[in-house]
Structures are given as C-alpha cells and as structure tokens.
Structure 1
Amino acid sequence: MTNPFVELSGFITPAIMQAYVVLMFLLVIGGTILDVMHKKSAQYFFENSKKAQKNAKRTLSGGEKNGLLLKTVANEVLTSSEFANPQRRMSHLLTMYGFIMFVATTAILIFAYPTDADAGIVPVLWHLGALMLCLGGYWFWFFIRVDVSAEGNPWYRLVRADLFIVSLLAMATFALLWSLSGAGVLKDLFFVLFIAASTTLFSTVLWSKFAHMFFKPAAAFQKKVAHADGSSENLPADYDLSDPAVHAKFPDIPEYMGKNPPNMGLGIKRESPHHY
C-alpha cells in the first residue's frame, strides 16, 4: 500500500520526476518514428494495402470493416489469440498487461501523488504490475524462447535482439527490489539500477522490438480485410484438388498427384507447438 515515490521526493523534486517521465515518453515517440523511417515498415504497409485493394474481389462495407476492427482488438490486441502455444500466450498476456499496469500507475503516482503516501489502491496496482511483468517475462526468458527451448542455447546467451526483454525485466525487477528494500546503500543501488534499466528500455526503441506494438494491430487488421475482400495477400485460393475445373486450370495436379489426390494430412499442424 506504500507509494514508493514519496520517500524519493525528499531528495528528487516531483518536477524532476515528472520531467523524466515526459522525456521517456518523447524517447519512445522519437525512437518509433526513427524505426519506421529506418525499416520503411510504414511504406511497406501502405504499399501492400494498395496492392491488396487492386486484387480485391469485393468491396467491404463500413460495418464489415468496423466488425473486423473490433475482432482484431478483441483477439490480437486484448487476448493475443494469434499464439497457438497456450504457454506463450499466457506469458505474453502477463507481460503485456503487467507492463501497461506498471507504466500507467507509475505516471499516476508521479503526477498525481508525488508526495502523498496514501495513494489508495494505486501502489498495490504498481507492485502487482511489476510482479506480473516479472512472472511473464522470466517465464518467457527461461522456458519459451525459441533459441533456448528449441535450439538448446544457454539461457544466459545475450544478443542485440534480447535488449528489449532484458531491459524490461531489469526495470521491473529492480523497481520491486527498490520498493521492498529498507533504507540504505542497497536501496539507493536498486534505485539507480531501476532508472538505468528503464532509461535503456525507453531510449533504445530503434534497436528493440518496442515499435512492433504499434504495427501489430494494424497488420492483423489488414490481414483480416485481405481475407474478407478476397485479395488474400496475393496467395492462391484454397482449391479442391479433386475438382475437374481445377484439373483443367492446373494440368500438373492430375499428372503428378492423380485425379483424386489423397488427403495430405495436417502437415506441420500434426504436432502441437512446443516453441515459437
């Protein structure tokens, strides 16, 4: 129930804490813009969308698009239903909602209760968010990462792609240790590490996967639209391989597979996913 920033306000003014939060927010915006310019992801997205519109077999109404948008928000955004592995999905949800809760309550405590020890339920949500973030993040780090679970690499192997998850976990871990430790040098050390980790997280968007959070919903929505209007991202239709019309269109099917090709089975879906 204790607001961890009250004690901090004794030697760091609320104005400085608030300025730091604003700076981190601006770093995320700037890093995301640079990421978009560097990878040209927005350009690719819009060009691919125009290409799909040209290949569309029907025009979707506004109501259909709104329905697809709501479905995208409910499935890909709020519940992460695109993950076939239930453990990966749960880990992602814990990390995502823990991060949102932690960041939101940090802003509330710093801007609304910087010197108020009694901040209601907000400190509880702050600690709960950090704990959820740690639970989901460490679950992913030790047991789910594809290069560890599928390729047998050690858990302590670090590459640049790990910058996001490592700084994210360090931020939540040192925040909890700083809040729960008593006064003294150790508490000051945990605070410095907490600030260092959070600064690393929010200032390295260009080199991390942070920006994908903004493009993931848009890409999922566009995929649903392409499937509904028939453009199907320029992929071939799902043909019935025993249909004579399909044989006439693709003569190599009966030549190599016969007039009534056997059911090829589930393919890669035959085995339940255990990793990425």
Structure 2
Amino acid sequence: MQMYVILMVILVVGGVVLDMVHKKSAKYFFENSKKAQKNAKRTVSSGEKVSLAVQTVASEVITSSEFCNPARRVSHLFLMYGFIIFVVSTATLIFGYPTAAEAGIWPMLWHLGAAMVAIGGYWFWFLIRVDRYSEGAPLARLVRADLFIVSLLATVTFALIWSFAGAGLAGWNMLFFGLFVISATVLFGGVIWSKFAHMFFKPAAAYQKKITKADGSQENLPDVGEMNDPAIHARYPDIPEYMGTNPPNMGLGIKRESPNHY
C-alpha cells in the first residue's frame, strides 16, 4: 500500500506536468506576468505582496470566495476540505499506523473526510451541476470532463462501503476494496484529463490578478476609471447612453433570475 501511494503521487505530479505542457498554461502564466511587469505604473513593495498573498490564501483558497452561487461554494468547500482530510488521513494511516489498534483519531478523520466528499460531491452532481440544472441534461449523460468528479465520488463511496462492510463479509469486502483501489487509480492517474491540475494554478492566477491591480498594469487592459465619473462620461459619451449614468448600480442584470431555462 505504501508503494501504491507513492505511485499515485508520481502519477499526479506527472499528470500535472503533462497538463502544463499540453495546455502551455505555465508558459502563458509567466509570459503574461512579464508583460504585466513592463506595463506596471508603480512598484509593489514586498510587504504589500505578502499582504496580497495572505488575502489570496484567505479568500480564494481557504473560503473559495470566487463562487457567486452560495450552494456551489458550500459544496466546493465540503469537497475541498473533505478531500484534504481523506488524503492526509489515508497517507498517515498507511505510513504511520499500519495497525488499527494504535491509529488513534485517524480512522475517524478518514471516515469524516470521505463523508464530506460524498456530501459535497453528490450535492453537486444531482442538484448544482450546470449542464443538469441550467441545461436539463440527463443524469446518465457522461463526458470526459466528468472523469474527476465521477472517479472521486466512486473512490469515497467504495471506500466507505468497504469499511462498513467489515471482515464479516469477506467476499464483498474484497470486492469493494478492489473497486475502491480501481477508482482511486483512475482519479489520480487521470489527472491530465481532469480539472485536478487547476488547483495548483488557481491561487497563483488569483494572486497575479491582485498584483496587476496593485501595480496599475491592469492585466494589460486600459485604465478606464470609475464608470460613473462625469469626466469618463465626457470622454466616452456612449457609456451613459447604453449603461446609464450610474453603471455600478444598474441592478442584478443576468442574476435577476435563476438560469434554468431548458
């Protein structure tokens, strides 16, 4: 099992590297960062950079504040923290506590993490998933983009069934253990075809966006200014014509109603 965990780590690292090479995401990120530095209007101090990094961790990472849909945000937090607890407790049990008698609280955390992933994942799959909720796609519809969530749900589901089946159902116990291992292998081995790698880029991209606002480079976009400024209206007379005299307070717009028009 220790060798299996090490192999899964290798597959994740390899999948992320292949994903970066295929999508050229790392190359784009660094080239965009250099371009922004050339257009910077001020130098951001080290202290300000640390402050922005803390804000990024607190907002985009710890609390996932980028989600406008509160249900999707809660579901994501269940998935994220459940997955972290599940993976850490799995590695701890396998490498540190090979026998259950001395494992302490770790088996409880293992079950808690798996249950959190199941709650957040099934909530997302049945009620929040955009192609079902907003487009009316049937539950049986599966595409390659579903590989991550389906293999993740299968992993924790078979893990919990295997655990609660116990040694009393020896044949079924081994069956569910085998399904658990197969699902986990698909989950970690299919990183290159899933959105797994985005968790490494999302915090970096969010931090870089804050830096571009702080140094004035604005992600290489023009600095228009405040949309309700009379000077801006005089410079761009079509703004009040098409957007009103106070654009920031135009109302809910597309958020006025739920997007479920299938």
Q: Does the alignment pair 1:131 with 2:115?
A: yes
Alignment partner, residue 172 of structure 1? 156
Which of these residues, 223, 237, 256, is aligned with residue 209 of structure 2?
Answer: 223
Alignment partner, residue 102 of structure 2? 118
Q: Does the alignment pair 1:185 with 2:168?
A: no
Aligned equivalents of 1:193, 1:85: Cα separation in 2: 33
Alignment partner, residue 253 of structure 2? 268
Q: Structure 2: give runs of 5+ residues left out of the alignment.
A: none
**Length-normalised TM-score, structure 1:** 0.86
Which of these residues, 203, 209, 212, is aligned with residue 198 of structure 2?
Answer: 212
Which of these residues, 205, 219, 225, is aligned with residue 238 of structure 1?
Answer: 225
**Length-normalised TM-score, structure 2:** 0.91
Deviation at 1:233, TM superposition (A): 1.2
Q: Which moved more, 1:179-188 or 1:142-151?
A: 179-188
Deviation at 1:211, TM superposition (A): 0.4
Q: Does the alignment pair 1:148 with 2:132?
A: yes
Q: Does the alignment pair 1:194 with 2:180?
A: yes
Aligned equivalents of 2:122, 2:37: Cα separation in 1: 42
Structure 1 contact 85–274 (Cα < 8 Å) conserved? no
Identity of aligned residues (%): 60
Aligned equivalents of 1:84, 1:48: Cα separation in 2: 26
- The root-mean-square deviation of aligned C-alpha atoms, in Å, is 2.1
Q: Which has the larger radius of gyration?
A: 1
Q: Structure 1: give runs of 5+ residues left out of the alignment.
A: 1-16
Aligned equivalents of 1:94, 1:29: Cα separation in 2: 24
Amino acid in structure 2 at the alignment position of 1:243: P
Which of these residues, 85, 109, 112, is aligned with residue 101 of structure 1?
Answer: 85
Structure 1 contact 242–261 (Cα < 8 Å) conserved? no
Structure 2 contact 158–176 (Cα < 8 Å) conserved? yes
Give the direction of change, closer, same or farther, for the CA distance of 1:114–1:274 in structure 2 (3 Å limit). farther
Structure 2 contact 41–216 (Cα < 8 Å) conserved? yes
Deviations 1:60-80 (A, max 9, x none): 000000000000001101110
Deviation at 1:257, TM superposition (A): 2.5
